[in-house]
Amino acid sequence: MNYTHRLEFKVRDYECDMQGLVNNSIYQNYLEHARHEFLISKGINFSEMVANKINLVVVRAELDYRDSLKSGDSFEISSNIKQITKVRFEFLQDIYRKNDSKLMLQAKIMGTSLNERGRPFQLDVLSRLFDE
């Protein structure tokens, strides 16, 4: 798959559970950070949007765990975004371990943009991402 954005990470000890594996909830943090960095790389400032009372929110998350990362593993999150409806978009994100390029996790994260009244609306700044 051709990805629009890639971001490298390294597992830190405190992200692991008693078995020495990355705790399953930590993957959500990794994915969220990669989405924020993706938006920043496209000139979209998440903090400015919040200050302007526009919120991007996750409405559904599907994570397929393929294997487990361990402390010290380097990995990459590869991301794409696509439009689902006028007010919904979906990030497709894959996590690959660096040393062997093994697919560790696949995620579909559906989101929407909410205005100051908490109502979904079409955010024009995102529409340019769907054309890439």
Q: State the Cα–Cα distance between residues 6 and 42, nearest whole angstrom.
A: 13
Q: Extract long-range pairs of 89-94: CB within 8 Å, 24+ residues apart.
A: 89/126, 89/130, 91/31, 91/35, 91/38, 93/31, 93/34, 93/35, 94/1, 94/3
Which residue in 39, 43, 73 sits closest to 56, CA to CA? Answer: 39
pLDDT tens sequence across 19-34: 999 999 999 999 999 9
Which domains, from first to last, does the chain contain? 5-130 (3.10.129.10)
pLDDT tens sequence across 72-86: 999 999 999 999 999
Q: Is 7 left (phi over 0), alpha (psi -120 to 50) or beta?
A: beta
Categorize the per-residue pLDDT at 106 as very low, low, confident or very high, splitting at 50, 70 and 90. very high
Phi/psi at 86 (nearest 5 deg)?
A: -60, -25
- The pTM of the full predicted model, rounded to 2 decimals, is 0.92
The residues that are catalytic are 17
Q: State the Cα–Cα distance between residues 85 and 43, nearest whole angstrom.
A: 22
Categorize the per-residue pLDDT at 127 as very low, low, confident or very high, splitting at 50, 70 and 90. confident
